[in-house]
Structure formats: C-alpha cells, structure tokens
Amino acid sequence: MLLLETLGVKMSFLESIPRHLQLPVAVTCYWIFCAEPKVKLHQLKALLLMIVSGELHRITNDPGMSPNNTILGMEILELIHAQNNFDLDAAHSFCQWQCCLQMGLYLNQLLCTPLSEPDLSRLYSGTLVHRLYQELKSTPSVENLFSLSPKMIQLYQVLLNTVESTVSPDFIQKMTKTKSEPCKKKKASNKKKKAIRCAVPETQHLCNVNRFASLRVDD
C-alpha cells in the first residue's frame, strides 16, 4: 500500500488496531521517525492516552456502557480543567504531530482512502494531551488512568506496543543523565580558571596606566 510505504509502516503491524485508528497510529510512527527534536517517551504516551480518551468518549452514548466509564470520563474532565503549565517544547512536538496527521489525511484522500479516516472531533485535544504530558512527568502512575476499564487499558497497550514494535528505540529521545558531582566541580573550576585568565590582561592593562599622569608638570 503506497500510503503505508510513504509513512514507513507495514500493514501487518496495524492489524490489531481498530480500523478507524490505523491511520493515526501510522502517522504517529511517521512523526517519531521524522520529528526534530526527537519525540520524548512521555509525549508519545500522552498522545496515545489522549487517543484512548477519545475512544472512551465515543462509547459513552452506548446503552450498555459501564458505570466505570462514566467515572473515567469525569476524571478526564478534571484533568482538562486542572491548571496546566505550558511547555513550549511539548507544544512544538505535538504541533508536528498535527501537521503529520493533516498531510496523512490529505494523502489518504488522494489515494481514495485506503485507510478509514478517524473522527477528528474526538481524536485530538490540545489541552488534554498537554495535561497528560505534565502529569506523566511528575506522576507516572497516570498511565493507569483507564485501569477501571479493561477494554480501554487493553486498547492503550495495543497502541503503545504497536508503535514501539514499529519504531526503533533510537528514534525516541532518551532521558539525559545527571552529571556526577566531581564532574560538576571540575567544570566549575575550569570556568573559574578561565575567568581569571581573562581578567589578568585587563588588570595588567589598568596597572600600566598612570592615573596621575594629568597632574604631572613638565619641566
């Protein structure tokens, strides 16, 4: 399939994904392949959790809906309305994903929709994805947001496993390690020495200037 070849994803990897989510997942893989700077793992998880929340919202009108889904819906609303610290890097990354999705939709339509198109009204929520990203950074347990709904947690795991099996770990930004204390001290010492070296010529220059030259009387 030309569409999936362009996105760098094989159809065999998408077979376990619901048809209406195959295109967003393929686009997500393409986004990770091409993103600059690299996508962070928390950003990927926040995005997938957001997609699952859209699925939860989609089934809320089903007659046989579980009461647990209603509780989950309320928890998601609380997340949306909670205070959110804006992260410029995350915003840039999620904007890249939206651009990839837009181009993916255009290409899908150009090729006579080989993949089903998602319901965009439920697929993306900027406020929610930013909030989820912030929560994941401070409270990793938010990844279990859908623990009350086995169906939703299973969907999340399927989405995450599909992306991780398609994309090499090298494409996802690794956490930077904190430098050891000796290294920090050595770096600080080098900076101090450099500052002293830079200051010496200026001091020497000032010493060579006679501040009382104007008071000298020529014979």
Query: pLDDT tens digits for 30-57?
Result: 999 999 899 999 999 999 999 998 888 7
pTM of the model: 0.72
- Residues 100, 207 within the same domain: no
**Number of domains comprising the chain:** 2
In angstroms, the CA 135 to CA 149 distance is: 20
Same domain, 147 and 40: yes
Question: Which residues form the domain of 82?
Answer: 2-173
Residues 77 and 94 in one domain: yes
* Strands annotated E in the chain: 39-40, 172-173
User: Mean pLDDT across the stretch 2-23?
Assistant: 95
Claim to verify: residue 77 and residue 6 sit in the same structural domain: yes
115 and 203 fall within a common domain: no
Note the pLDDT tens digit of each residue in 70-99.
455 555 555 555 666 778 899 999 999 999
| pLDDT score at 218 | 54
Closest residue by Cα to residue 44 from 178, 167, 177, 176: 167
